[in-house]
Amino acid sequence: MSQFIDIGAVEDIPQRGARLVKSPLGEIAVFRTAKDEIFAVDEWLPGKAGPLSNGIQHDTRVTDPMRNWVFDLATGEAQGADEGRVRVWETRIEEGRILITQQIMGELRAAE
């Protein structure tokens, strides 16, 4: 079973805002939607898009600040004609706290 790490409170991210989490596997953008859902995806799609935490959010999508690619936050899939996918990380909300899958710690997990 996947383990989860507490990365902060839901309230720490404004609605329709995003914040960065630095992990051993790279930077991860954590989004809070207007409906208080939380999504975590890679900050960068190397050579193509990013930093996504800087994009404009609408629905459960974010528009990349550099090239206007639109990504679905739930699947990480680029929308429309663009092709590409950012990794999506599982999150949960418990008692107002945001939990993210331990997998973002990379090889550390194997060491446990």
Partner 1 sequence: MTQKIIVIGAGMASGRVLETLYDNGADVDVTLFNAEPRGNYNRIMLSPVLAGDQTYQDIVTHDDAWYAERNVTCRFGERVATIDRTAKTVTAENGDVLAYDKLVFGTGSNPFMIPLPGHDLDGVIAYRDLEDTEKMMGLGEGNKAVVIGGGLLGLEAAAGMAARGVDVTVVHIMGHLMERQLDEAAGYLLRKALVDKGITVKCSANSKEILGENGKVKALMLDDGTELPCDLLVMAVGIRPNVALAKECGLAVGKGIHVDDQMLTSDENVLAVGECVEHNGAIFGLVAPLYDQAKVAGQTLMGEEAAFVQKELSTKLKVTGCDLFSAGDFAEGEGREDIVFRDPARGVYKRLVIEENKVVGAVFYGDTADSNWFFGLIKDKTDIADMRETLIFGPAFQGGEPQDPMAAVAALADDAEICGCNGVSKAQVVAAINAGANTLDAVKAVSKAGSSCGSCSGLVEQLLSVTLGDEFVMPEKETVCKCTDLTHDEVRKLIKMKGLKSLPAVMQELTWSTPDGCHVCRPALNYYMVCEWPGEYADDGKSRFINERVHANIQKDGTYSVVPRMLGGITNPKELRAIADVADKFDVPTVKVTGGQRIDLLGVKKEDLPAIWYDLGQAGMMSGQAYAKGLRTVKTCVGTDHCRFGTQDSTGLGIQIEKAMWGAWSPHKFKLAVSGCPRNCAEATCKDLGIICVDSGYQILVGGAAGLDLRETDLLCQVATEEEALEYSCAFYQLYREGAQYLHRPYKWISKVGLDWVKEQIVEDADNRKALAERFHYSQQFFQVDPWAERARKGVDKHEFEPLADLTTSKVAAE
The binding site for partner 1 (CB under 8 A) comprises 5, 7-8, 12-17, 19-24, 30, 33-37, 43-44, 50-51, 54-60, 63, 65-66, 68, 70, 72, 74-75, 98, 104-105, 108, 111
Of all helices (H) and strands (E), which one includes residue 6?
strand 4-9
For the bound state, the minimum distance from the C-beta of residue 54 to partner 1, rounded and expressed in Å, comes to 4
What residue ranges in the chain does DSSP mark as E strands? 4-9, 17-23, 26-32, 38-42, 56-58, 61-63, 70-72, 88-89, 91-94, 97-101
